[in-house]
Amino acid sequence: MSSRYKTGKATQIWRSATNHMATGLAVLSTVLVVAPLIAIFVYLIYKGASSLNLAFFIKTPRAVGEPGGGMANAIVGSALLLGIGSLIGVPIGIASGVFLAEFGRGGKLANAVRFTADVLNGVPSIVMGIAIYSLIVLPQKHFSALAGGVALGIMMIPTITRTTEEMLLMVPHSIREAALGLGVPNWRSVLSITLKTASPGIITGCMLAFARVAGETAPLLFTAFGNQFWSANLNEPIAALPLQIYVYAISPYDEWHRLAWAGSLVLIVLIVLSVSLVRFVTTRGVLKGAN
């Protein structure tokens, strides 16, 4: 303790040494954080690119032992699941955000909704899987694409709600009042003035939610279940890219490992593209909601 208040030469050296050491440690930890990221990406690109070919995109999986095959059904399945998810998550998410920003400002109800959305956000994805299993799969008595889509949709809601609220709060009051002053009904002003002004930011939120659930595996394990064959029937088990990657990764076959890497690369490229697109456009200010 006492050394802090001394001003001798030794103290000066000690202080400056700790200062440099702290800088060194901060730099070191930054390197240690960035290193695994780069390691994962390099390895993924190296492994994935060497296993990626046209067949991956147009063929369905082959039986064990047969070389070749692809994940066409899983790609289509993922697209379907994400489509159902967006149909559920986007409208509910945006509407809840509108409620929080336009109608519930600061009220107890709004705080409760906000807190519940946070709770929903924190629900482990595997628990979501169990819940949807017992809500939809058990009564229906079969796994289905619909159940998987609902699980993903519910997981999208909290992210969209919170970004929508944040974006709407940035829209200045004067705009709303101008609309009302012109005799525009309130619902119309919310839809075509406020939401429209904030739409770029809201789209960003939707993209982020989309990217987040695109890679989810755990909620699909007991809902969409996976499928080795073509299926576009919403009432049947359906393949999904992350599920297929999981099944192939824990299998003992090299050929399947190869496909898992290719699948991961495709998934990552999709996700990173959407995230960086969002980031690029938002930092450019084009998509920023009005201040």
Partner 1 sequence: MPVSVTKDVEKLKDTSVASPQETAATHSGASTPQGVVDVSSVRKFLMARGNSAVADRGFRWLMIACAMSIFAIVALIASELIARSQLSIAKFGIGFFFKQAWNPVTGDYGALTFIYGTLASSIVALIIAVPLSIGVSVFITEMSPKFLRGPLSFLTELLAAIPSVVYGLWAVFVLVPILRDDVNPVLMKTLGWTGFFAPPNFGQGVMTAGVILAIMILPIISSLTREVMTAVPGSQREAVLALGATRWEMIRMGVLRNARIGIVGSIILGLGRALGETMAVTMVIGNRPEIVKSLLAPGYSMASVIANEFTEASDSLYLSALVEIGLALFLVTIIVNGLARLLVWAVTRGASARVA
Q: Which of residues 223-252 bind partner 1 (CB under 8 A)?
A: 225, 242, 245-246, 249-250
- Within 156-195, which residues bind partner 1 (CB under 8 A)? 157-158, 161, 171-178, 180-181, 183-188, 190, 193
Nearest-angstrom CA–CA distance, 108 and 159: 21
Phi-psi region of 69 (alpha: psi -120 to 50; beta: other; left: phi over 0): left
CB of 37 vs partner 1, minimal distance in Å: 5
Q: Would you give the binding string for partner 1 spanning residues 13-42, x where CB under 8 A is met?
A: --xx-xx-xxx-xxxxxx-xxx-xx-xx--
Q: Which of residues 104-163 bind partner 1 (CB under 8 A)?
A: 104, 109, 112-113, 115-131, 133-135, 154, 157-158, 161
Question: How many other CB atoms sit within 10 Å of the CB of residue 282?
Answer: 16
Q: What gap in Å lies between CA 47 and CA 15, rounded to an integer?
A: 48
Q: Could you tell me the smallest distance in angstroms from the CB atom of residue 1 to partner 1?
A: 14
Report d(CA 18, CA 3) in Å as an integer.
13
Q: Looking at this protein, which amino acid is placed at residue 114? A: R
Q: Residue 102 CB, nearest distance to partner 1 (Å)?
A: 7
For partner 1, give the closer residue by CB, 125 or 231.
125
Binding of partner 1 at residue 271 (CB under 8 A)? yes
Alpha carbon distance 96, 88 (integer Å): 12
Other CB atoms within a 10 A radius of the CB of residue 131 amount to 16
Work out how close the CB of 101 gets to partner 1 at its nearest, in angstroms, rounded to a whole number: 10
Quote the CA–CA distance of 209 and 287 in Å, as a whole number: 17
Among 65, 66, 284, 291, binds partner 1 (CB under 8 A): 291
